[in-house]
Structures are given as C-alpha cells and as structure tokens.
Chain A
C-alpha cells in the first residue's frame, strides 16, 4: 500500500525557473507520463544522450529531425548560463524543453501571454540560429531550407537557395523597410523575428496538449 509515486524524481522546488513553469497547467499525472517516456527513451538511465532519440520511428520521417534533437541539448534552451551544447540531459532538463510546448490556459493574463509567446518564438529562433550569435544569417536560413528539402533528389541546390533568398528579402522588407542600394542586411535579430510574427497566432499552433485522462485511472 504505497505512498509517493515510485521512482519519480521530485522536481526540486528550489530551482526557480523550472518551478515557475509548472504553475497549474502541468499536472502530476502528465509529469508521470513524461517520466515514463523519459525512462523509455533513456533506457532506464538517468540521462538522455543524442543517440537515444534514434529509437523513435516517427521521428525518422521528420526532415528537421536534426534540429529538433539539437534543440534539446542547446544550452540556451536549457536556461543555462554557458553557451553551446550539452552532452546529456536529465529529466528536469527534459521537462524544461517540453515546457516550451505547453498549451495556453484559459486564465492567463496579457503579460503572461506575451511572455509565453516570446518564449516559444525564442525557442524557434534558437533552432535557426545555429552558431549562437543572436542573428539568423542568410547562410543559416539556407541551411534550414536545405534540410527541409533534403529528401528530394530532384530539387537542386539552386532552388533551395532561391527559396531562402526570397524569404530573407521578405524578412528584410518587413524588418527594415525600404533599404538603400548599398545597405546590407546582416541577419534577422530576435527583435526582427518578433516583428515578423506579429499578428500571427502561433500559440495555438505550437503546443502539445495532453488528453485529460479520467482521474479514475490513477488512484489518487
């Protein structure tokens, strides 16, 4: 006749960032589910490495698979002070990354919504900005397009390039407006990025919502 959940590590209350993310939205049931998933992925170890993501068949289909896995180990997403990539992440880090995909709740106020949105966009920004310099350059953008189109042998590199160039031009026109003939657009900064997404409702698109499994299932 047990007491607390078996084997679930307590998310330490002391670590302020993680705790503040888990205001009412994520229930302990969901953390349980995620923990079980974590154990499955890590094969019962305490940390996950990049190789562990190879065992997910559904993920193989995804053209930006590399970037997604990368995002899990990106120290900027893990809210760590240093830069670069971590070698392995533990369950708390896993939850931190998952929290970027929380759905909106009914009771959020303006400020919370804004912060929410910024966080999701920041996550996306980090995905593009692979050299961590705070700007998305033309080359980085091209990389992303090429990855997305990587599976198709018929699409030449040239086409991928022109797509990327076209998109960057559009981005420039939104962010900087009319540019002079000798002005060079360095790259998309985070503020520009935010500007591009103004008015577009990404919060409802970028989340993973848990089904509310009836409380009957877990005898609390």
Chain B
C-alpha cells in the first residue's frame, strides 16, 4: 500500500515537472534554455571522446592523397569515356575500350552510388553510439566508462522522458483537434486549430530533443502555395510544422495514425486520400488543384521524392506535384548526423524500431532553409521544372543531386536508361572512324 502511494507521488512529481518545464513553454512558444544547455554538454563530451580516440590510435598514415568525401569509399576516376579512350591511344577499336568498362563495372560492384543512398551515412568521427560504428573496439577504460554512462543516460533517463512527451503530444493533438473541430467554420476555428497544431508539434519536437535552425524565414510558404522538401524520415513533417501550419497530403492509414488523421482533418483541411484514390492520378491532381486554388487554405506539404533518402543527396522528384500549378516554395532540410541518425531505412527497420532508435539518440539537430518561391516558366515542362527546384534544394542543403529514381530502392533500372548509355558509346566509336 505504502509502495503504491510512494510510486504515485513520484509519478505526480514527474508529470508536474514535465508539464511545467516542457509542455507549458511549448504552448506559449517560449524556450527555457534547457535544450541549449543540454546540447552544450553533449558537444563538449563528444569532443572529448574524439580527442581520446585520436590519442589512442597510433598507426602510421599512408601517403594516399585526397580528403575522403562523405560520399564514397573508393576513389572514382571521373575521366569521361572519350578522354579515357584517347589517352589509351589508337583511335581504332582496341582492347583498350574494355578497360574503361571493366573498371567502371568493378567500381559499381564495390560501391554503387544509388544503393549507397539507401543506407545510413558513415560518420567520420564517433558519437558514442555503437550503432553508427560497426567495428567497435576497446580503446581505454575512461572511454568505455563514458560510453556506459551514455547508454544509461539514454535508455533510463532520456527514453522515458521522451516517451512521456510523445504520449502527451499525441494525445493532446487528438483531443485538441477533436474539440476544435466541433466549432463552426470561421476565423476563430482557424486560429485555434493553428494554436493546437503548433503546440503539439513543439511538444513532439521536444520529445525528440530536436534542435532546429530555421533560415530565411521571410520565404516561409504562404497560403495557397505548395511546399516541397527533400525526404529523409517521417519526422520531416513534424520538423516543418514546428514553424508554421501546413495542410498535409497523404494516404489514409489504419491504427493510431488513422485516428490522428481523422481527428486533425476536422480542425484543419488536410488532404487524406483513400488507397484506391491514390492510384487515380487525375483525381489526385484535381483535388490538390482545388485546394491550391482556394487562397484561404493552408499551403500543401509534399515530399516529391516519394521515399526516404539518407540525407546525403536528393533523388529524382516525381513530376506529379509540379503539374498542379501554383507557386512552389522549396524547403531544404539537412540533418546533422553527429547527434543522431534520422534516416529511416524502411527495408531494414520497421516504424517502431525506428522510433525507438530516434528516441535513444542524443538529439536530432537539423537546419531548415526556406528558399524563395518558384513558378513554372512558359516553356518548361513539369520534369524540367521539377529538376530546377531540385537543384535549388540540393545546392542550398549541400546535398548532391542524383538523377536516379527513389523507387530504385525496390525496383530495377528502366531499359531506356541503359540504351542511352550504349547509344552514346557506339556513336563515339562511329565518329572515331573505326568502321572500315
């Protein structure tokens, strides 16, 4: 009996602390500076850990050139095909041509640019999370002790805290939006729905220990526009709604997600599609067009890549989003992998284990850049426009651009691409006059 009462007391204190220090400031939109202090301690500790590692390693460095790019483990020779063959002399067809393709083939086998994007980025320094470093060796007692303390802090302190916050956040979102949804349509309802959405987003961001820096806030998406961003994880949406209200677009799910969807759509005009409707592209485009045409509605949020990429590059944007018309507001999101890997590898982890990993990382730190709005030009088609937007996002976020389709995670290369390359090669041979 006494034990139960004691536990109840502790629980009450816990909830009071959480409410007072975290939930209330979120509602009011102010910051108590706790996150900043936490980040400062974290950064100092990681710096110390890195220095210890450097001291512990005493290997002679080989004289191999180049600073390693974060994008690969092998040195790629980027000489184009023509130059290479010219270098190997004899414009006639020779065994030399085999070299080029042989080497390219081997490079592709050791490491291909595409599949690489679907696994997490390799870090160049260790951040005390074994999951980012496959070969973890014993270095020194002090480092191990710090690591163990890190594990305890993360699993026993941070995880319950974050879990509580997430639960509070989701519950208040559902309850809040249901309540607001009962009101008659009008400016009061819109205002209240914005407040509810913002507050719950803020709570959820704190549930992930997120530190987000927004740049160029003057370019924030306006009503009646379309906001496009690169996609790394499901929490991208939360990161963006932390700073403004958007109308989400997506498929109706079952379970908890479905409950949230049904509740929020009452308060704010999100666009949820049934599974059957998604297949019909015209229907989708029509509905989105109607939404955009209504200037009083919130901007739509779309992720044109269609799947999660590991945040080192931006893959092909699907042209559907760019056919709707209206003004496009591009947003670039770049996560800092130092503190926690936000990428969701959906073929490796399911959503629950992904969320668990996120909640036991140190923090989620990211930069969000709002880019100036873009409109489709007269002589551009949707694909060119999509590429233009993509370049802008890649440039701002410091990501590389790949012409590949995110769908390659699961499917194979289209034959049309293959034939292009082969045509180029044979054209070049013909030009060199090797025939006859």
Q: Which of A9-17, A63-71, A110-118, A176-184 contacts B (4 or more CB under 8 A)?
A: A63-71
B395 interface residue per 8 A CB criterion: no
Out of A127, A151, A162, A220, which one reaches B422, CB within 8 Å? A151
B427 interface residue per 8 A CB criterion: yes
Produce 1/0 per residue, A26-61, CB < 8 A to B: 000000111011001100000000000111111111
Q: Are B61 and A212 in contact (CB under 8 A)?
A: yes
List chain B residues, Cβ under 8 A from A62: 101, 104-105, 108
Q: Are A220 and B59 in contact (CB under 8 A)?
A: yes
List chain A residues, Cβ under 8 A from B59: 215, 220
List chain B residues, Cβ under 8 A from A32: 134-135
List chain B residues, Cβ under 8 A from A155: 426, 429-430
A108 interface residue per 8 A CB criterion: no
List chain B residues, Cβ under 8 A from A150: 422
Q: Are A64 and B124 in contact (CB under 8 A)?
A: no
Q: Are B115 and A40 in contact (CB under 8 A)?
A: yes
Q: Are B113 and A124 in contact (CB under 8 A)?
A: no
Q: How many A-B residue pairs have CB under 8 A?
A: 213
Q: Are A56 and B102 in contact (CB under 8 A)?
A: no
B14 interface residue per 8 A CB criterion: no
Q: What is the minimal beta-carbon distance from A169 to any residue of chain B, in angstroms?
A: 11
List chain B residues, Cβ under 8 A from A55: 115
A104 interface residue per 8 A CB criterion: no
Q: Are A205 and B103 in contact (CB under 8 A)?
A: yes
Q: Are A216 and B75 in contact (CB under 8 A)?
A: no
List chain B residues, Cβ under 8 A from A154: 426
List chain A residues, Cβ under 8 A from B425: 63, 148-149, 151-152
Given the interface pairs A2-B138, A196-B95, the reply to whether A53 lies near B115 with Cβ below 8 Å is: no
Q: Are B53 and A219 in contact (CB under 8 A)?
A: yes
Q: What is the minimal beta-carbon distance from A95 to any residue of chain B, in angstroms?
A: 11
List chain B residues, Cβ under 8 A from A78: none
List chain B residues, Cβ under 8 A from A215: 57, 59, 61
| Nearest B residue to A34, CB-CB | B110
Q: What is the minimal beta-carbon distance from B69 to any residue of chain A, in angstroms?
A: 7
Residue of A163, A166, A219 contacting most chain B CB atoms (<10 Å): A219
How far does the alpha carbon of A170 sit from the alpha carbon of B397 in the complex, in Å? 53
Q: What is the minimal beta-carbon distance from B130 to any residue of chain A, in angstroms?
A: 8
Q: What is the minimal beta-carbon distance from A100 to any residue of chain B, in angstroms?
A: 9
Q: What is the minimal beta-carbon distance from A28 to any residue of chain B, in angstroms?
A: 9
Q: Are B93 and A166 in contact (CB under 8 A)?
A: yes
Q: Are B105 and A59 in contact (CB under 8 A)?
A: yes
Q: Are A219 and B133 in contact (CB under 8 A)?
A: yes
| Nearest B residue to A136, CB-CB | B95
Q: Are A151 and B114 in contact (CB under 8 A)?
A: no
Residue of B50, B95, B111 contacting most chain A CB atoms (<10 Å): B95
Q: Are B68 and A212 in contact (CB under 8 A)?
A: yes
Out of A6, A54, A163, A205, which one reaches B93, CB within 8 Å? A163
Residue of B50, B64, B422 contacting most chain A CB atoms (<10 Å): B422
B187 interface residue per 8 A CB criterion: no
How far does the alpha carbon of A220 sit from the alpha carbon of B125 in the complex, in Å? 12
List chain A residues, Cβ under 8 A from B114: 57-58
List chain B residues, Cβ under 8 A from A220: 57, 59, 135, 137, 139
Interface of chain A residues 155 through 170 with chain B (CB within 8 A)? 155, 159, 162-164, 166-167, 170
Given the interface pairs A36-B134, A200-B88, A220-B57, the reply to whether A57 lies near B112 with Cβ below 8 Å is: yes
Interface of chain B residues 405 through 432 with chain A (CB within 8 A)? 408, 412-413, 417-419, 421-423, 425-427, 429-430
B97 interface residue per 8 A CB criterion: yes
A214 interface residue per 8 A CB criterion: yes
Q: Are A218 and B135 in contact (CB under 8 A)?
A: yes
List chain B residues, Cβ under 8 A from A6: 134-135
Q: Are B435 and A162 in contact (CB under 8 A)?
A: yes
B106 interface residue per 8 A CB criterion: yes
A98 interface residue per 8 A CB criterion: yes
List chain A residues, Cβ under 8 A from B54: 216
Q: What is the minimal beta-carbon distance from A195 to any residue of chain B, in angstroms?
A: 12
Q: Are B139 and A217 in contact (CB under 8 A)?
A: no
A185 interface residue per 8 A CB criterion: no
Given the interface pairs A152-B422, A162-B436, A205-B103, the reply to whether A218 lies near B133 with Cβ below 8 Å is: yes
Q: Are A64 and B101 in contact (CB under 8 A)?
A: yes
B92 interface residue per 8 A CB criterion: yes
B122 interface residue per 8 A CB criterion: yes
Interface of chain B residues 328 through 345 with chain A (CB within 8 A)? none
| Nearest A residue to B405, CB-CB | A57
How far does the alpha carbon of A145 sit from the alpha carbon of B98 in the complex, in Å? 9
Top 8 nearest A-B pairs (CB, nearest first) are: A151-B422, A152-B426, A58-B108, A68-B105, A58-B112, A212-B64, A60-B413, A61-B421
5 contacts between A and B (CB under 8 A): A58-B107, A63-B425, A151-B426, A163-B434, A219-B133
